[in-house]
Copies of this chain bind each other. A is one copy, B any other.
């Protein structure tokens, strides 16, 4: 079913993990869209229901699996005339394959969108490609799908140590979840510095709490960082622009 004119795309957002990360994606979709009036903007439907069980707790074996409510969200979005589904939460991509199987429409993987941004920013053949410092939850690091997708294109990934995760990443993210952005930013900036010191040329900020926290402390590392949420926004905008241009 499609109620948009000309079979226009309609992006379904499986959000709420957390709600601020969802708003961040919507803001970035608007920023990335060349538009002169409201009607030029990307049509989006958002399921922003934050009662999905904690993803990190589930992966750590300490809590209920979110899969049941994630599948419900996919089914609800599929009741609307969506053309694609995106998930502005890195950790939730642990259940990506199960969700993609459930959906009638394609899901866009956040690591594929990020890799597209890296390739787009890089000049020259693979030897000149950057080493990527990957800042992500332990669940995302363990799952390994960023590293595997990057390796397929000969992009090397550097990861935080277990000690760096405990000291900087975990308390930094929980500070953001409480709304304490400057405190979170200060901790996450120290983690970025460690990865740069070990040879990272670029950072991938693969946890949605990280970019707003680094912005809150005006971190200079943002200049060499790739924000997967912005990459995902760009993927949504590209789908919309391809449709807009095809109509001209």
Contact = CB atoms under 8 A, between A and B. Distances in A.
A27 B23 contact: yes
A38 B177 contact: yes
A51 B18 contact: no
A72 B3 contact: yes
Contact of A19 (B38, B48, B177): B38
Given A23-B30, A46-B46, A49-B10, A54 B38 contact: yes
A168 to B, nearest CB: 20
A16 to B, nearest CB: 7
Interface residues on A, range: 35 or more
A72 to B, nearest CB: 6
10 contacts: A10-B49, A20-B30, A37-B177, A38-B177, A39-B53, A43-B51, A44-B49, A45-B45, A45-B76, A79-B80
Interface of A is mostly: loop
A120 interface: no
Interface in A28-73: 29-30, 35-54, 72
B23 A19 contact: no
Nearest to A33: B19
Contact of A41 (B8, B40, B50): B50
B26 A41 contact: no
Contacts of A27: 23
A215 interface: no
Interface string A173-206: 0000111000000000000000000000000000
A32 to B, nearest CB: 12
A142 interface: no
